[in-house]
Amino acid sequence: MPVVLVHGYPDTSSVWDGVAERLGERFRVVRYDVRGAGGSEAPAGRDGYRVEVLVRDLVAVVRDVGAPVHLVGHDWGSVQGWAAVAAHPGLFSSFTSISGPALDHLGGVSVRAVWRSWYVLLFLVPGLAEVVWRAGWVRRLTRAGRRELVNGVELYRANVGRSRAPRVVEVPVHQIELVRDPFVGVGHLDASKRWTRVLTRSRVRAGHWAVRTHPAVVAERITRVIDGA
């Protein structure tokens, strides 16, 4: 059964290189550059970055690959993954979520959890992120290209603050908690408990970009999920 890997911000599908290499020893692995990143075209306007549009892209990939698939998402790849498995449960056998909460589950998160996402407010200020991303040291720190940094900010501007009615997720979900992640904490993860039929969690002692820095551990956790599905 195929495994589809979806990257987040400000990455491209190359962030999965180490994970994909290891999973590829047993599974058919598919990954792609999301809108505005890597080799994919950028949408003409901000609405093209809305989660529901990203889900349409993801669903098209899954149907082309051949459903059902095991889905793995990191950061914004996980955000759209939550929306995809909620709307199209028949296309997925499992969903592994890494550092990307479901936006429609966050209504009741704690103040502490909200504070961990302070950077989102900066992204929403018109023009501010674009100025910051011009600094070479920022691009070196994030290991991202300026195109991905600038285009991807529209993910926040197109989606943050929009009201959504939460939906119960029928697909089995496994959350990989990155204990050194400064952006996504337990509060964000716990918000999905009441909206999932089957929810499990494991911990990895790594930071936000564990898919790049700890590919062997991440691949092993994903393999466990697939074998148990």
Cβ-based neighbours of 187, under 8 Å, separated by 6 or more: 109, 110, 112, 113, 116
pLDDT higher at 35 or 120: 35
The mean pLDDT of the chain is 87
Q: Give the span between the Cα atoms of 129 and 59, in whole angstroms.
A: 30
> Which range, of 87-96, 97-106, 141-150, averages the lowest pLDDT?
141-150
Q: What is the DSSP string of 2-47?
A: -EEEE--TT--GGGGHHHHHHHTTTS-EEEEPPTTSTTSPPPSSGG
* Structure confidence by residue, pLDDT tens digits, 157-173: 888 777 678 899 999 99
> Which range, of 1-15, 134-148, 195-209, averages the lowest pLDDT?
134-148
The C-alpha torsion from 82 through 84 and 85 to 91, rounded to 10°, is -150
Kindly list the distances between the CA atom of residue 20 and the CA atoms of 34, 124, 212, 223, in Å, as whole numbers in the listed order.
Answer: 17, 33, 10, 11
CB 8 within 8 Å of CB 148? no
Q: Which pair of structure tokens corresponds to residue 154?
A: 């529209």
| Predicted pLDDT of residue 109 | 44
- Whether the pLDDT of residue 115 is over 70: the answer is no
Kindly list the distances between the CA atom of residue 96 and the CA atoms of 25, 73, 82, 136, in Å, as whole numbers in the listed order.
Answer: 19, 6, 9, 33
Paired with 203 in beta bridges are: 177
Paired with 199 in beta bridges are: 173
pLDDT band (50, 70, 90) for residue 182: confident
pLDDT higher at 38 or 109: 38
Q: Across residues 128-152, what is the average pLDDT?
A: 61
pLDDT band (50, 70, 90) for residue 112: very low
| Predicted pLDDT of residue 97 | 98
| Predicted pLDDT of residue 114 | 42
Distance from the first to the final alpha carbon of the chain: 11
Please state, for a pLDDT cut of 90, what percent of the chain lies above it.
Answer: 67
pLDDT higher at 46 or 131: 46
| Predicted pLDDT of residue 159 | 86
> Helix crossing, 76-87 with 51-65: angle to 10°?
70
- Whether the pLDDT of residue 57 is over 90: the answer is yes
CB 212 within 8 Å of CB 8? no
pLDDT band (50, 70, 90) for residue 67: very high
| Predicted pLDDT of residue 163 | 67
Stretch (H or E) spanning 115 = helix 111-115
**Closest among 227, 217, 108 to 172, alpha carbons compared:** 227
Q: What is the DSSP string of 170-187?
A: -S-EEEEEETT-SS--HH
| Predicted pLDDT of residue 117 | 53
